[in-house]
Structure 1
Amino acid sequence: MTTNHKRSAILIPIISVLLGIIAGAIIMLVSGYNPITGYSALFRGAFGDAYAIGETIRRTTPYILSGLAVAFAFRASLFNIGAEGQVIVGWLTAVWIGISVDAPMIIHLPLAILGAAIAGAIWGFIPGLLKAKLGVHEVIVTIMMNYIALFSTNEIIRNVLTDHKTTTESIKDSASMSSEWLSSMTYYSRLHYGILLALFVAVIIWFIIERTTLGFEIKAVGFNPHASRYAGMNVSKNIILAMVISGALGGLAGAMEGLGTYGNISVMSGFSNIGFDGIAVALLGANTPLGVILAALLFGSLKEGANEMPTGAGVPTELVDIIIALIIFFVASSYIIRWALLRYQGRKAK
């Protein structure tokens, strides 16, 4: 990658965020709100005190993992729309194991986390297999599997994990990722040890992508599957592996909610949106682990800070969703920003 390309890869997400924030300020002005007051309230809601910081980090945790899930699949040119379904089945499996197994923490907690990863991996394996062997487009399959995951999970909660109730009992303490130490440090927020696991997984994914043969082959298949096949790579295997690893990461994101934030799972009237937001996180993070971490922190800050905007500035929380949508729009339109940067660099060179 040339120096200009590296610079563009860094500048484009930053410019996209700034344009989204500026557009959000314009919308606030047009709607009769003070953008300075609105953004000040958003900042206070995300970083105003120790509790807000703890909740922001807590929100960031599953975004890191769901963003990595989508980004890893992107490396093989696979669009994993099914991260949301993988999050749901991972959440369900983690809570199921957390409720039903009696074991010491050293066994119980890793088992629940591993179970969530396996559930997500299976949910990723199915579209990966259909794509690799039959050429079925992964977008269609993963979208449909999101609904299968949602409605199947609701049925299992009502008729297997409970007696026609909408919320399961809490997981056993031996399967919990909650931390009294972290909670007390942040005025009893719901911050848990999952953030450490998410950061560790990000390092592992970076190592796989940048330092292993598997990562090289997955990137090669993503760039050109025909050339990769000609070079002796097993294209089908790499497509399946990419989706399996992607699904496992999505399952881990669900485990963060089931074992850390809530300690249970409830019947869902709709999607959690953690997996869908992971698509935006991956796009903004340029499909790199470090970029995903930073993008996840931004999304966690926006989502948590939005809670303060109605009370602190009278601005509806929906405005944050508009800002996020605008940021995604500018990232998706990155070729326009890249064209502007190249023109500016060309003029500067002359």
Structure 2
Amino acid sequence: MPDVAAAVPEGGLPRWAANGVLPLVNLLAAFVVAGIVILIIGESPVQALLVLIRGAFGFPEAWGYTLYYATNFIFTALAVSVALHCGLFNIGGEGQGYLGGLGVGLVCLFLDGLPLVLLLPLAVAAGGLFGALWAWVPGYLQARRGSHIVITTIMFNFLAATLMVYLLVNVLIDPGQMSPQSRTFAEHVRLPAMHEVLGWLGIAFPRTPLNMAFPWALVCGVLVWIFIWHTRWGYELRTVGANSTAAVYAGISPSRNTVRAMAISGALAGMMGLNEVMGVNHRLLLNFTAGYGFVGIAVSLMGRNHPLGIVVASLLFGALYQGGTELAFEMPKVSRELVVVIQGLVILFVGALEYLFRPVLLPWLRRRRRLAAE
């Protein structure tokens, strides 16, 4: 069934302006404010921008780190996107990613007698299942008990962190050490790194954290696109998100779709554990989520909750993370804390202030249409 809403201008703006021009204007505004801050501390904003771009894309190793960060953002932003299409604001990506990593870690720790070809599908399934179950509970509470999804998901973030502390301190800790982390996984059960895979193909690539979770993130984006826009379940989910009352009259169950959307959202967030636990750290440890679940909210909003836009926005935020690291190294006055401020400004403008420039764009587009008609 066609998506009638896709043809309707968003808030008076045509789709190309709402999904293309507006995010770019927001991003430009964030960089302008960041440039003013850098100017105040006595550095050149232009030079800082050039260092940031070069640090993110200027050499192969930079690309590896940028895509590694982008992988986490793709997973968490897709999770936010699926929930938002059902009218749900899932801010529990941190906890769901934590539990997904726990599922991946348990498979790698206790099933390491299996070859990688058998263990990898089990690890993917465990990461998705643990994340889905952790998100299913807030979805059920929203659907059946009326609990607010924002409150329950953020509470579940803290519960997940507490659970991981308990498990890594009392159950899964590597014997004979003080650091709360599990033993290192066996060599053969680690997710292949991208430089290894490309090396098998005769392509030289430097050693970076980038691993095979990145292509799996792209596959998940395609699967989400198919599910949301090309299946009956996706249509039901979007209908509930657009108007739950109308959905009931159409015979669609809002409660069933709420639980379904949250379970799928949690499974996608849980995939982040595949990248961090099996692909990079090769052990279970605390705080491997590192705020990726929260940044995924801004990435999803900037990508307009569409997988293609999410991939592009994830690349941008990956560049900010990697380029920001190079920026702090190359320009001593630009401290790591200031880099976080720059990242926060981007999140602020593309998230909380998403529609700040819509009243400015709308008259400009109307004048443009009027001049074109004349």
Between stretches 166-175 and 240-249, larger displacement belongs to 166-175
The partner residue of 1:334 within 340, 354, 362 is 354
Counterpart secondary structure, 1:334: coil
Q: 2:190 maps to what in 1?
A: 176
- The 8 Å contact of residues 115 and 188 in structure 2, kept in 1 or not, is answered as yes
Amino acid at match of 1:259: M
CA deviation profile, 1:212-242 (whole Å, cap 9, x unmatched): 1111111110011111011100111000000
1:130 aligns with 2:141: yes
For residues 321 and 310 of structure 1, what CA distance do their matches in structure 2 show?
Answer: 10
Between stretches 112-121 and 91-100, larger displacement belongs to 91-100
Q: 1:39 maps to what in 2?
A: 49
For residues 42 and 6 of structure 1, what CA distance do their matches in structure 2 show?
Answer: 28
Task: Flag as ranges the 4+ runs of structure 1 deviating above 4 A.
Answer: none
The partner residue of 1:241 within 257, 260, 265 is 260
CA deviation profile, 1:68-101 (whole Å, cap 9, x unmatched): 0011101111010111100111112211211110
Query: 1:182 Cα shift?
Result: 4.0
- The 8 Å contact of residues 17 and 327 in structure 1, kept in 2 or not, is answered as yes
Q: 1:344 maps to what in 2?
A: 364
Q: 1:193 maps to what in 2?
A: 212
Q: 2:73 maps to what in 1?
A: 63
For residues 220 and 283 of structure 2, what CA distance do their matches in structure 1 show?
Answer: 23
Number of residue equivalences: 349
Counterpart secondary structure, 1:167: coil
Amino acid at match of 1:338: R
Q: 2:301 maps to what in 1?
A: 283
CA deviation profile, 1:234-255 (whole Å, cap 9, x unmatched): 1110000000000000101122
For residues 165 and 5 of structure 1, what CA distance do their matches in structure 2 show?
Answer: 51
For residues 143 and 48 of structure 1, what CA distance do their matches in structure 2 show?
Answer: 38
TM (normalized to structure 2)?
Answer: 0.89
1:300 aligns with 2:313: no
CA deviation profile, 1:152-191 (whole Å, cap 9, x unmatched): 1121112211236422122233432123234783321121
- The 8 Å contact of residues 97 and 289 in structure 2, kept in 1 or not, is answered as no
Query: 1:6 Cα shift?
Result: 3.3
Amino acid at match of 2:125: L
- The 8 Å contact of residues 178 and 191 in structure 1, kept in 2 or not, is answered as no
Show the 5 A alignment for 1:133-172: 133-162=144-173, 163=175, 165-172=179-186
Query: 1:260 Cα shift?
Result: 0.7
Query: 1:309 Cα shift?
Result: 1.3
Amino acid at match of 2:15: H
Q: 2:274 maps to what in 1?
A: 255
Counterpart secondary structure, 1:257: helix
For residues 79 and 194 of structure 1, what CA distance do their matches in structure 2 show?
Answer: 25
Amino acid at match of 2:54: R
For residues 307 and 74 of structure 2, what CA distance do their matches in structure 1 show?
Answer: 9
- What stretches of structure 2 of length at least 5 have no aligned partner? 1-6
Query: 1:335 Cα shift?
Result: 2.6
Counterpart secondary structure, 1:29: helix
The partner residue of 2:128 within 117, 120, 125 is 117
Counterpart secondary structure, 2:305: coil
For residues 64 and 271 of structure 1, what CA distance do their matches in structure 2 show?
Answer: 13
* Aligned residues: CA RMSD: 1.7
Q: 2:17 maps to what in 1?
A: 7
CA deviation profile, 1:17-57 (whole Å, cap 9, x unmatched): 11111111111001212112222221222122111111111
Query: 1:346 Cα shift?
Result: 1.5
CA deviation profile, 1:189-216 (whole Å, cap 9, x unmatched): 1211111100001000000011011111
- What stretches of structure 1 of length at least 5 have no aligned partner? none
Q: Percent identical across equivalent pairs?
A: 35
For residues 216 and 339 of structure 1, what CA distance do their matches in structure 2 show?
Answer: 31
For residues 175 and 289 of structure 1, what CA distance do their matches in structure 2 show?
Answer: 30
The partner residue of 2:241 within 222, 225, 231 is 222
For residues 360 and 339 of structure 2, what CA distance do their matches in structure 1 show?
Answer: 27
Between stretches 91-100 and 213-222, larger displacement belongs to 91-100
1:98 aligns with 2:108: yes
Q: 2:4 maps to what in 1?
A: none
For residues 290 and 161 of structure 2, what CA distance do their matches in structure 1 show?
Answer: 10
1:323 aligns with 2:342: yes
For residues 232 and 337 of structure 1, what CA distance do their matches in structure 2 show?
Answer: 39
Structure 2 vs 1, CA of residues 267 and 7 (structure 1 numbering), >3 Å: closer, same or farther? Answer: closer
Q: Say which structure is richer in helix.
A: 1
For residues 273 and 29 of structure 2, what CA distance do their matches in structure 1 show?
Answer: 31
For residues 271 and 57 of structure 1, what CA distance do their matches in structure 2 show?
Answer: 16
Query: 1:284 Cα shift?
Result: 1.0
